[in-house]
Amino acid sequence: MPYETNNVFAKILRGELPAHKVYEDADTLAFMDIMPRCEGHTLVIPKAPVRNVLDASPAQLAACMKTVQRVAAAAMKAFNADGFTLLQANEGAGGQVVFHLHFHVMPRWEGKSLGPAASKMEKPETLAASAEKIKKALAD
């Protein structure tokens, strides 16, 4: 299937939709998931129009993973997490909902389950506060 240029992440990249940005470099963008499964749930995407992991070049995947690693360490620090879950889905049958390559970085705590996927929109002020915590941890 071809890349859909009007998906929500493409719109965020073009500045047509707002996002609570955490980190950005020449190749990637990290921002808060608006329907988080846990506190600190962050998304990492390539800036290039890439549908899924099979469409990405090795360089695009490497850039994403570099950002994932950096954001995961900062999110764990910011939220005093015991670990993190990294989720990446491909195509509808694989659980992909937005057809722009993305990685979910979700801080985790012992004994605490993830919330259900795409179930509740978080308040913008809560997302902004979470983004600030991660940005501060990135700067430390």
The answer on pLDDT for 9 being more than 90 is yes
Mean pLDDT across 50-75: 98
* Better-scored residue on pLDDT, 118 or 22: 22
Mean pLDDT across 127-135: 98
> What are the CB-based long-range contacts (under 8 Å, 24+) for 101-104?
101/45, 101/46, 101/50, 101/51, 101/52, 101/53, 101/55, 101/56, 101/60, 101/64, 102/9, 102/43, 102/44, 102/45, 103/43, 103/44, 103/45, 103/64, 103/68, 104/33, 104/37, 104/41, 104/42, 104/43
Provide the CATH number for the domain formed by 8-139 in this structure. Answer: 3.30.428.10
Residue numbers annotated as active site: 102
Q: What pLDDT digit, counting tens, does each position of 22-54 carry? A: 999 999 999 999 999 999 999 999 999 999 999
pLDDT score at 31: 98
User: Domain ranges in the chain?
Assistant: 8-139
pLDDT score at 118: 82
Q: What is the mean pLDDT of the chain?
A: 97
The answer on pLDDT for 119 being more than 90 is no
pLDDT score at 99: 97
Q: What pLDDT digit, counting tens, does each position of 92-103 carry? A: 999 999 999 999
